[in-house]
Amino acid sequence: MKLKKILPQLLTLLFIVLVFGFFTMNAQENMGARGLEFGFGFLKTQASFDIQFSLIDYDGSHTYARAYLVGLLNTLLVAFIGIILATLLGAIVGVARLSPNYLIRKTASFYIEFFRNIPLLLQIFFWYFAALRALPMLEDAPMLLNSSFMTIKGLYTPAPIWTNFDVFFTTIIIAMIVIFFFAKYAKKKQEQEGKRLPVLIISLSIFIGLPLLTFLIGGVDLSWSFPVIRQMSASSYTFDGGLKIPPELIALTLALTLYTTTFIAENVRAGIQGIGKGQKEAAASIGLTQSQVLKLVIMPQALRIIIPPTTNQYLNLTKNSSLAAAIAYPDLVLVFAGTAMMQTGRAIEIVGITMATYLTISLGISLLMNWYNKRIAIQEK
Amino acid sequence: MFKYLKQLTSLVAVVAVLFAFTTESMAAKKSKTLKNTQKKGFVRCGVSQGLPGFSNADAAGNWTGLDVDVCRAVAAAVLGDANKVKFTPLSAKERFTALTSGEIDILSRNTTWTLSRDADLGVTFVGVNFYDGQGFMVRKDSGITSTSQFKNGISACTNIGTTTELNMRDFFNSKGISYEPVAFEKADEVVAAYDSGRCDTYTTDKSGLAAQRTKMTNPDDHMVLPETISKEPLGPVVRQGDAVWEDIVRWSLNVMIEAEEYGISSGNADMMKTSENPAIKRLVGTEGELGSYLGLDQDWSLRIIKQVGNYGESYKRNIADTGILPDRGPNNIWTKGGLLYTPPAR
Amino acid sequence: MTINHMNFFKPKHQKNRNISLIMGVLFFSIGIIDFYLNNYFNTNITSFLPRIINFFTPLIFGVIGLHLIRIEFSGIKILDSLNKNINTTNFNAALSVSIILLIIFGLPPLLNWLILDANFAGDTKEACTGGGACWVYIKVWFNRFMYGMYPNAEQWRVNVTFIGVLVFMAAGFFVPTKLKNYLSLYYVLILPLISFFLIFYLISGGDTEISFAFIASIIYFFLCFFIPSKKAKLYFFSFVPLLYIFLSLRLGESAYLAIPGLLWVETGAWGGLSLTFMVSFFSLIFCFPLGMMLALGRRSNLPIVKYSSLSFIEFWRGVPLITVLFMSAVMFPMFLPDGTYVDKLIRVVVAITLFEAAYTAEVIRGGLQALPRGQYDAAKSLGMGYWRMHVFVILPQALKLVIPGIANTFLALIKDTPLIFVVGLLELVGMLNLAKTNPKWLGFSMEGYVFAGIIFWIICYSMSKYSQKLELKYKTDR
């Protein structure tokens, strides 16, 4: 009987060893024939190429390792903005899908059915090559909100200029910590004495008041630099000052948001519908107001159903952001597995590092979600 | 028990077979590109995805261009018919991998010969069929007539992973101009971005600029600036490790150039058989056994000249007459002031 | 609830009700007409009001109008259903009016562009004179979009192959009940083989050769089926590879049987929508058994099997498809012996299959988990071994549960196929990108994307509706 357990495992092990051994042998041989050595030393060499959009300081004289970092930060930026927007929009559309209003309901389901059934790549292409290319040239662009310009070269908005930003930042962190402890204290007080403190108002005032204080006495100052048009030649212009958001980023974020919203909306709808009617009736029967029912009864249970698949969608959004390689947005895949790989020829190392990065992000989010799931899981009998 | 023994034996048999195959293919690693080409009956040539003048397909699927002619010359030499070529359009990203993995046997794709590529990618450059340099293209109505008029904040479109991307940076750095690089993978997207106004300038090899200009909505609205900011010797590439095939491709190209040097063209090649000049006699095959050194027959060079023409004819047909670059510039025979100087075919 | 306190128009008597109704319709219509005139005729009947209010007059009038017709229990059926659906509160009324205005704003220009001003007839770019979409462009390039660079004269082969595969797929529904047991074998093993051969001979074409050694081995393989004793059967089976090697070494390289074929079309020329279907079809067919194996492995108790399946699944689920395709295009050739060249299309199908198999494995695992433990226990109590139990009891039930999940995976697969442009294969979206840069047809990118969007939408929407239908059908079974 022992053999029955051991033999399949042995076979599997043998199979894996054979496959990996075959690949490794060939790879070593092929690389030897080309005079290439397997190694990560190339990361320390100079990159020699510039990147269009970077959150950190970077130019061609930095190393490939720093180029990798730039690509990674760009990916995380798109993922972050996309996740926030998709969650907000998804919640709205998901709730709208359940509205008693016929028009709103139909509009929401039309939206979901429309954007869900068109491939994401096609949507990205549409937004970038068709829609954003139709924007006006810089000299013709109308001014929005008295400060910003939406042009074919990107969105130009005013940029904030801080003095003593670190003071401001630490104050915000301190305010959040204070609010956290205050909320705990208020909850404890409510459970012990039944007295309810106006938590929301006090938290809000702390959150707004403390940072404002730094403006007055902390030496923090905020000024704005506005984009000003400058003529470079007889027909081309540019904007000086201000913040420039490249159209590649806008197209990618827009397409990702619209696409992922459909899935999140469906999750929200499933979550809210998954709560039995009995819950709402029971809550009403013990005298809770509408908003209390929402906050204390419906949302916690709905969130339990909504959050796991939604976290999956966040993961999908992060992975889908790799499609930036199709338009010229310098995310991890385009910068590292595209330009860097073409310049150095080290396919195995670079593709390996890229896949490892995405794996780490995926596994990290999965672990986080598993921990959260365990924490809120209802103990079944 | 017996059952498991049977399973084990079959497993061992399968494993033995697998190993036999791998060792077999490893032992047979000696390069056989020539043999395979002759067995298949066509030359596998990697070209661009559509660059007028160098490698471009028409609506019926026929490929023409300067790079195409190099492959056709090899086909004429090896297989006897210049039309026995299969063209594989490749992007910049996959061009070298296609070559090293065995998908193609010659990469003739206006590829710049650089040290890092020659030494580090497992490929060998076998010659230069076009001496070029990198330049910039701008709209005529911008009023810019020289790169010295570039201002800070200019946006430049190019292809990713090419020497142009690196040279562009060196150029703007040396001038101290801050610029915005917009890099796409496909040349068509670069052209579209520049054409629509997304970028102020488009940079690549000057031959590429001239060729891509024909693909814009209004070619006459654009001009190529006079400055050349780098050396871009373009030439065919083969896999490292197959010396015979390297020589065949190298000398097919050299034959085309040397034929023009001695005045042999597709029109007068047969007449030239009666010439007294020993160099010409060697090229048309009436003297010498050059073909046998390469594993080819006597008429290999004659076929190249007759079926594809000499370098001048190829240039005229593909690049001058189509209006891309009427002036040959450095791409002329050394006796006429150009850079094309080949080792003698003897 | 608080806004309704402004119900100072709430009518109490019949007469007032009618007046209120008429006034409401009037206000509403004024709002709509104002908006319509603003947008399409550039006239502004309310220009005497300050600018901010002027911008919102259609909305305000509409909301007032809807408020006036919000009469409870009016007795008019249409009015009641209207009120219940879009007019319950003022907030809802405002939203409804906004949506109606949005439709008025967007729909006519869209229809104009799509149909009314569009050009349908013609052959060249000059035929596109109107301001609308140039469907001539799609018409001219239609063959390319459907078949890629496949030669026009040979496109009948692609059609025949697709019809043939459909026929074989449908044939599974018409078998007599006696053979129904072999249905799963048919779908998992025989159908892929048949389709592969159809594609190989019809679409790819070209002359092929089969070595005599190979033919002999196949004949020996089938002969082994007739050996009655099971033990002896296995014993003789194991000699098939040895026989093949022995014969091929002895007979040499020249012992081939040549089979003439149709004109050879290389896989680089395949493209368009037909390529989308081919890639999706083969990926689905192969990822299904692989996913099943992985799901079973994930749930097994043997540690090595379990953890290797787990790491395989988590690896493929954690990386984006585009890096997988990069890997297959650029990295994979390094892992093969020098000089072996695997066709690009095969590499792509293998990559997508492995990728989707991981997701399929998770879906099937969900189905396996959903089965009550009683099934496992009952099967074991009947003395069934691991494989018997799974093949006859567990898998049929589990697969029925996960059919919607599989349909979802197939949908995701179809939506993922445009990514194969990174390896240079041009399916529909790739052909679009190629066509839009053709010098004779510049500037029609919008039409191309709309066309592809419509096609994908039709395919994906019908598939999702079908999977919903399947889900309902199989739900009632349990």
Both A307 and A260 in a single domain? yes
CB burial readout C84-122, b (16+ within 10 A) else e: ebbbbbbebbbbbbbbbbeeeeeeeeeeebeeeebbeeb
- Confidence check: pLDDT of C7 > 70: no
CATH number of the C143-205+267-477 domain: 1.10.3720.10
- A11-25, A68-82, A183-197 — which is least confidently predicted? A183-197
DSSP class per residue in B49-61: S-BTTTBEE-TTS
Dist. CA A310–CA A260, nearest whole Å: 10
In three-state secondary structure terms, B123 is strand
Both A143 and A83 in a single domain? yes
Across the range B318-322, mean pLDDT stands at: 89
* B97 pLDDT tier (thresholds 50, 70, 90): confident
Q: What is the token pair recorded at A115?
A: 């954007």
CA distances from C60 to A101, C8, C54, C70, C94 (A): 19, 17, 10, 15, 8
Both A153 and A6 in a single domain? no
For chain B, what are the domain ranges?
1-29, 31-131+234-336, 134-230
* C478 pLDDT tier (thresholds 50, 70, 90): very low
DSSP class per residue in C122-151: -SSGGG--SSS-BHHHHHHHHHHHHHBT--
Neighbours of chain A (3+ CB pairs under 8 A): B, C
Same fold, B31-131+234-336 and B134-230: yes
Q: Inform me whether the C-beta atom of residue B61 falls under 8 Å from chain C C-beta atoms.
A: yes
- Taking phi over 0 as left and psi of -120 to 50 as alpha, with beta for the rest, C122 belongs to left
Q: Inform me whether the C-beta atom of residue A341 falls under 8 Å from chain C C-beta atoms.
A: yes
Query: Does residue B299 contact residue B77 with C-beta atoms inside 8 Å?
Result: no
Write out pLDDT tens, residues C260-281: 777 777 777 788 898 998 899 8
**A258 lies in which domain range?**
64-158+226-376
Residue B76: what pLDDT? 93
Residue C1: what pLDDT? 37
Across the range B188-210, mean pLDDT stands at: 90
Q: Residue A136's domain is classified under what CATH number?
A: 1.10.3720.10
> What mean pLDDT, rounded, does chain C reach?
80
* C233 pLDDT tier (thresholds 50, 70, 90): confident
The secondary structure element, H or E, covering residue B181 is strand B179-184
> What mean pLDDT, rounded, does chain B reach?
85
Across the range A169-185, mean pLDDT stands at: 87
Q: Which of B1, B4, B6 to substitute to test the interface with C, most C CBs within 10 Å?
A: B6
Q: Inform me whether the C-beta atom of residue B346 falls under 8 Å from chain A C-beta atoms.
A: no
Q: Inform me whether the C-beta atom of residue B102 falls under 8 Å from chain C C-beta atoms.
A: yes
Query: Does residue A343 contact residue A48 with C-beta atoms inside 8 Å?
Result: yes
DSSP class per residue in C434-465: HHHT-GGGTT-HHHHHHHHHHHHHHHHHHHHH
Write out pLDDT tens, residues A240-288: 888 889 999 999 999 999 999 999 999 998 888 888 888 888 988 988 8
Query: Does residue A357 contact residue A283 with C-beta atoms inside 8 Å?
Result: no
Both A231 and A95 in a single domain? yes
Amino acid identity, residue C310?
L
- B51-60, C63-72, C181-190 — which is least confidently predicted? C181-190
Amino acid identity, residue A66?
R
Assess if CATH 1.10.1740.10 describes domain B134-230.
no
- Confidence check: pLDDT of B13 > 70: no
Dist. CA B280–CA B260, nearest whole Å: 11
CA distances from C175 to C183, C190, C374, C391 (A): 9, 14, 33, 21
Neighbours of C344 (CB within 10 A): 21
Query: Does residue C427 contact residue C417 with C-beta atoms inside 8 Å?
Result: yes
Q: Inform me whether the C-beta atom of residue B7 falls under 8 Å from chain A C-beta atoms.
A: yes
Amino acid identity, residue A38?
F
Across the range B22-36, mean pLDDT stands at: 54
Both A276 and A349 in a single domain? yes
Bridge partners of A230, per DSSP, are A238
Phi, psi values for residue B217, rounded to 5°: -60, -45
Q: What is the token pair recorded at C75?
A: 């007795």
Chain B contact set for C151 (CB, 8 A): 61
Q: What is the token pair recorded at B346?
A: 């003897």
Q: Inform me whether the C-beta atom of residue C425 falls under 8 Å from chain A C-beta atoms.
A: no
Does B93 sit within 8 Å of C330, measured CB to CB?
yes
Cα of first residue to Cα of last residue in chain C, in angstroms, is 45
Both A149 and A288 in a single domain? yes
Both A128 and A11 in a single domain? no
- Confidence check: pLDDT of C89 > 80: no
Across the range C224-241, mean pLDDT stands at: 74
Residue A35: what pLDDT? 65
Write out pLDDT tens, residues A29-40: 877 766 667 788
Residue C203: what pLDDT? 79
Q: Which of C208, C220, C239, C442 to substitute to test the interface with B, most B CBs within 10 Å?
A: C442
**Who wins on pLDDT, B59 or B306?**
B306
Chain B contact set for A133 (CB, 8 A): 192, 196, 198
- Confidence check: pLDDT of A124 > 80: yes
Residue A122: what pLDDT? 92
In three-state secondary structure terms, B108 is strand
Does B17 sit within 8 Å of C245, measured CB to CB?
yes
Across the range B300-328, mean pLDDT stands at: 90
Our CA dihedral for C275, C281, C283, C287, rounded to 10 degrees, sits at 180
- Judged on CB neighbours under 10 Å (0-12, 13-18, 19+), A184 is exposed
Rounded to the nearest angstrom, the minimum Cα separation between C268 and chain B is 8
Both A243 and A371 in a single domain? yes
Across the range C36-64, mean pLDDT stands at: 75
Dist. CA A261–CA A317, nearest whole Å: 10
Count of B–C CB contacts within 8 Å?
Answer: 79
- Confidence check: pLDDT of B23 > 60: no
Q: Which of A13, A19, A118 to substitute to test the interface with C, most C CBs within 10 Å?
A: A118
* C358 pLDDT tier (thresholds 50, 70, 90): very high
Across the range C349-362, mean pLDDT stands at: 92
Q: What is the token pair recorded at A195?
A: 């007295």
ipTM of this complex prediction, to 2 decimal places: 0.83
Kindly report the CATH class assigned to B31-131+234-336.
Answer: alpha beta
Residue A121: what pLDDT? 93
Residue B291: what pLDDT? 82
Residue B256: what pLDDT? 93
Residue B7: what pLDDT? 60
Both A298 and A348 in a single domain? yes
Query: Does residue C399 contact residue C187 with C-beta atoms inside 8 Å?
Result: no
Both A287 and A237 in a single domain? yes
Across the range B233-242, mean pLDDT stands at: 90
Going by C-beta distance under 8 Å and a sequence separation of 6 or more, which residues neighbour residue A238?
A138, A153, A229, A230, A232, B151, B152, B153, B154, B155
Could you say which of A30, A351, A359 has the minimum Cβ distance to residue C327? A351
- Confidence check: pLDDT of C138 > 50: yes
Does B14 sit within 8 Å of C433, measured CB to CB?
no
Amino acid identity, residue C257?
L
CA distances from A151 to A253, B178, B198, C178 (A): 17, 20, 9, 69
Residue C27: what pLDDT? 83
- Confidence check: pLDDT of C194 > 60: yes
* C180 pLDDT tier (thresholds 50, 70, 90): low
Residue C32: what pLDDT? 84
Percentage of the residues of chain A whose pLDDT score is greater than 70: 97
CA distances from C337 to B98, B343, C340 (A): 15, 36, 6
- Confidence check: pLDDT of C6 > 60: no
* B172 pLDDT tier (thresholds 50, 70, 90): very high
In a domain, A240, yes or no: yes
Strands B201-205 and B134-139: antiparallel
Residue B273: what pLDDT? 85
Dist. CA C92–CA C63, nearest whole Å: 9
Dist. CA A127–CA A254, nearest whole Å: 8
Residue B25: what pLDDT? 44
CA distances from A250 to A74, A253, A327, B188, B225 (A): 13, 5, 11, 22, 32
Both A12 and A139 in a single domain? no
- Confidence check: pLDDT of B31 > 50: no
Rounded to the nearest angstrom, the minimum Cα separation between C355 and chain A is 13
Both A7 and A139 in a single domain? no
Residue B27: what pLDDT? 36
Q: Inform me whether the C-beta atom of residue B94 falls under 8 Å from chain C C-beta atoms.
A: yes
Dist. CA C234–CA B10, nearest whole Å: 8
- Those of residues 25-64 in B touching chain A at CB distance below 8 A are 26
Q: What is the token pair recorded at A196?
A: 């309810």
Our CA dihedral for B7, B10, B11, B13, rounded to 10 degrees, sits at 160
Rounded to the nearest angstrom, the minimum Cα separation between B287 and chain A is 38
Across the range C70-95, mean pLDDT stands at: 76
Bridge partners of B125, per DSSP, are B237
Closest by CA position to A331, among listed A252, A263, A269:
A252
In a domain, A177, yes or no: no
Q: What is the token pair recorded at C319?
A: 């990386």
Q: Which residue of B has its CA nearest to A234?
A: B142
CA–centroid distance for B284 within its chain: 25
Write out pLDDT tens, residues C401-423: 787 788 888 888 999 999 988 88
Q: What is the token pair recorded at A112?
A: 């979901």
Going by C-beta distance under 8 Å and a sequence separation of 6 or more, which residues neighbour residue B41?
B79, B84
Residue A93: what pLDDT? 93
- Those of residues 296-335 in B touching chain C at CB distance below 8 A are none
- Confidence check: pLDDT of B16 > 70: no
- Confidence check: pLDDT of A381 > 60: no
Dist. CA C447–CA C444, nearest whole Å: 6
Q: How many domains does chain A have?
A: 2
Q: What is the token pair recorded at A121?
A: 């790549």
Closest by CA position to C444, among listed C113, C108, C112, C110:
C113
The secondary structure element, H or E, covering residue C259 is strand C256-259
Q: Number of C-alpha atoms within 13 angstroms, CB side, residue B63?
A: 26
Across the range C138-160, mean pLDDT stands at: 84
Dist. CA C409–CA C356, nearest whole Å: 7
DSSP class per residue in B235-278: EEEEETT-HHHHHHHHHHHHHHHHHHHTT--TTTTTGGGG---H
The secondary structure element, H or E, covering residue B111 is strand B106-112
Residues in chain B: 346
Q: Which residue of C has its CA nearest to A319?
A: C320
Could you say which of C245, C330, C439 has the minimum Cβ distance to residue B20? C245
Rounded to the nearest angstrom, the minimum Cα separation between A200 and chain C is 23
Going by C-beta distance under 8 Å and a sequence separation of 6 or more, which residues neighbour residue C473?
none
Q: Where are the beta strands (DSSP E) in C191-242?
A: 208-211
Q: Which residue of B has its CA nearest to C423?
A: B94
Could you say which of C149, C242, C341 has the minimum Cβ distance to residue B13? C242
In three-state secondary structure terms, A240 is strand
Could you say which of C231, C238, C330 has the minimum Cβ distance to residue B13? C238
Write out pLDDT tens, residues A346-376: 888 888 899 999 999 988 888 887 787 777 7
